[in-house]
Amino acid sequence: MEGELALHHEMIVPEWREECGVFGVWAPEQPIAELCYLGLFSLQHRGQESAGIVVTNGMHIDVEKGMGLVTDIFKKRMPSLKAHSGIGHVRYSTVGASLHANIQPIFAYSSEGLISLAHNGSLTNAKNIREQLENEGCIFQTTTDSESILNLIARSTSGTIEEKILDSLKKIEGAYCLTILTGEKLIGVRDPHGFRPLCLGKLSNGGYVISSETCGLDAAEATFIRDILPGEMVVINQAGVKSYFIDKEVKQSSCIFEYIYFARPDSIIDGQNVWQSRFRMGQQLASEYLVEADIVAPVPDTGIAAAIGFSNQSGIPYVEGLIKNRYIGRTFILPDQSSRNAGVKMKLSPVKANLEGKRVVLIDDSIVRGTTSARLISLLREAGAKEVHMCISSPPITDPCYYGIDTSIRKELIAATSTPEEICRFIGADGLHYLSLEGLLHSVNDEKQERMCSSCFDGIYPTDITECQVSEHKAAMEVKK
């Protein structure tokens, strides 16, 4: 069985991947492009495939986009137009392939003038919307689901731009946080489920900032005002900030993986500090899994807070067992499996002096396919670790996500096809323990599961995902049937 298990999972290419980050600034007389750059740099962890900035002075726009990291794209050229507002985007492709044509923000000119849009999330009815628009004669320039939103807005027969957006959003399903730029307004939208985070901040000079995470506000030296609520649209112009709501009553279902892995630990999402949530996950994990060991070591960086929490609760000393190379990004961003395999060794190196002869509790945030965990445990054993007990600060991932995270299909998730005992043997650990779903919800103060989406753990989806089950890969828009 173990040989079959190993062969099966070595053939799998997809990894657990984040989606995107969005940013927007309304600040007349301020350096808009530079503020967008700072915001995107702080949100780089949300997407490392491409980035773009669009700025406007109300009459003209200036655009700069490129494949790669924020620092590489904008070191050659920044939008130079003296502007009053702008939006930016960092991308990891979830719907629409990794192509230059798909770099956001996207923009168009309509009867309302300029409309530019940046999108974080994934629409679950994207194919139906696109086919409907194509049948009506609409021509697409990209293969992203984001362009369907832009076209719906441009083609809406409602009155004001606010009404056009609200009318369009009634037709789409799934996850979306949007920053939208017109000649005179900056608009931020969060879907009614609140799958992805979005917040509002204020600059000291009176300008405003919209960001996927509060770390973006910090980078722009903006003061946090509040989270944009699920189903809310905020409109910013010379008159200030106005709030509207999408006419669609649904249950809030914020992604719990933002707290486990995706968000930066210094961010605050819906009133909860991410680092503290991860610390509590580690404490809860130690309460659920009593083990005799000499040291607790994290898989950096997302395992650090949980490992400190585990050490705090268990009394086992916290030690750095793996050192991260700060000059390499998250391994899931690398374009193919062979690159990701090499990336693990390039990214993490064992500290032999801390590991030799020790019984180690290794803390990580999740196991998707198991191959990375197996390589990490092998590294620890090569460095002389006597035992390695793998502790995961989340439950087993048994189902794919359809709300803006590029995950494997169900049969490619190791926990969906294998028991914990089989996974433990496959990764080569002396013990394996996952945090319970109840313990996870307790750690993020949502014990009744009133506000969180945990579909990747329990298969209970807050929206209809029938279409997604038919097209379960990020390049679905490229495929014509």
Model confidence pLDDT, tens digit, residues 53-68: 999 999 999 999 999 9
Q: Which of the residues in the chain have pLDDT under 70?
A: 1-19, 93-98, 328-345, 406-408, 448, 466-481
Shared-domain flag, residues 204 and 317: no
Tell me whether residue 464 is in a domain: no
Catalytic residue, chosen from 20, 36, 453, 456, is 20
Shared-domain flag, residues 338 and 231: no
Model confidence pLDDT, tens digit, residues 102-116: 899 999 888 778 999
- CATH number, domain at 380? 3.40.50.2020
Q: How far apart are CA 314 and CA 291, in angstroms?
A: 9
Model confidence pLDDT, tens digit, residues 238-258: 999 999 999 888 889 999 999
Shared-domain flag, residues 112 and 176: yes
Respond yes or no: is residue 215 known to be catalytic: no
Task: Please check whether residue 126 is in contact with residue 466, taking contact to mean a CB–CB distance below 8 angstroms.
Answer: no
Task: Please check whether residue 185 is in contact with residue 166, taking contact to mean a CB–CB distance below 8 angstroms.
Answer: no
| pLDDT mean across residues, the chain | 88
Tell me whether residue 462 is in a domain: no
Tell me whether residue 460 is in a domain: no
- Hey, CA dihedral for 256, 260, 264, 265, is it positive or negative? positive
Domain limits for position 135: 20-253
Contacts of 155 (CB under 8 A, 6+ apart): 133, 136, 138
Shared-domain flag, residues 329 and 189: no
Q: How far apart are CA 57 and CA 182, in angstroms?
A: 10
Tell me which amino acid residue 184 is.
E
Tell me whether residue 8 is in a domain: no
Query: How far apart, in Å, are the Cα atoms of 57 and each of 32, 40, 162?
Result: 10, 20, 20
pTM score, whole prediction: 0.88
Q: How many domains does the chain have?
A: 2
